Chains A and B, each alone.
Chain A
């Protein structure tokens, strides 16, 4: 899931997902939207998105067509859900440790 998060950290890759969220597009049409980015760089971005599960690739003859995969985003939400489970488990552990320490201190004072 870390892959998906890193994939969407790049503004160009978010732009690519935006382009292909509603319609399937060939790589050339995607690249044409980026005047300042080389075609190999776009290919690299497409690869990162695909490997992160955020982009579906389909071959149509010699063309490769791309569209956004919502399932990939669902995975990101799952990641986030798990992220908070882990963090809150750490919070519980640390708060309970703190409480035990406070109680020990109070015990010493009495």
Chain B
């Protein structure tokens, strides 16, 4: 039954008709991050700086994302950790990497969310941790940004 659980990161690629500088700011400025991902944000965009986000799901339940910036190379790369308070896994259990490169008049964005559910070898670490990690990754729910 464990075959269905995977560690493969989620990878997304997309083109955005905006400069890398414009897109980069949506990962580092609270008033911009709250336009697409969270309902509130406290951001200190430097390595080791806080990346705190409050997410809200459809029924209004709030989840506190407590991440840290790991790497920032304006306007081409931003890496931050991703984890939720109140889960079996402490904040910082998974990592999001965003790479931006110019493409025509816009930006090619590569998004990677890694350290997701465990592979079989990792089951020894405990199912609770696996589920906790998964929860960490998904607990944000939909902030109803759309």
Q: Give chain A's interface residues, CB within 8 Å of chain B.
A: 2, 5, 8-9, 11, 14-15, 17-18, 21, 67-71, 73-74, 76-77, 79-81, 83-96, 98-99, 102
Contacts and interface: CB of A to CB of B under 8 A. Distances in A.
A9 B32 contact: no
A102 B128 contact: no
A88 B127 contact: no
A93 B127 CA distance: 38
Chain A interface main SS type: helix
A46 B24 CA distance: 44
Q: Interface size class for chain B?
A: 35 or more
Contacts of B19: 99
Interface in B95-146: 107, 109, 111, 113, 116-117, 123, 126-128, 131-132, 134-135, 137-142, 145-146
A9 B139 contact: yes
Contact of B138 (A17, A76, A90): A76
B5 interface: yes
Nearest to A81: B10
Contacts of A88: 12, 14, 109, 111
Contacts of B16: 91-92, 95-96
Given A70-B3, A77-B6, 9 more contacts: A2-B57, A5-B139, A15-B128, A21-B127, A69-B1, A77-B134, A84-B12, A91-B23, A96-B17
A11 B32 contact: no
B140 A98 contact: no
B22 A73 contact: no
Contacts of B6: 77
Contact of B18 (A5, A14, A89, A95): A95
Contacts of B123: 21
B41 interface: no
A95 B112 CA distance: 19
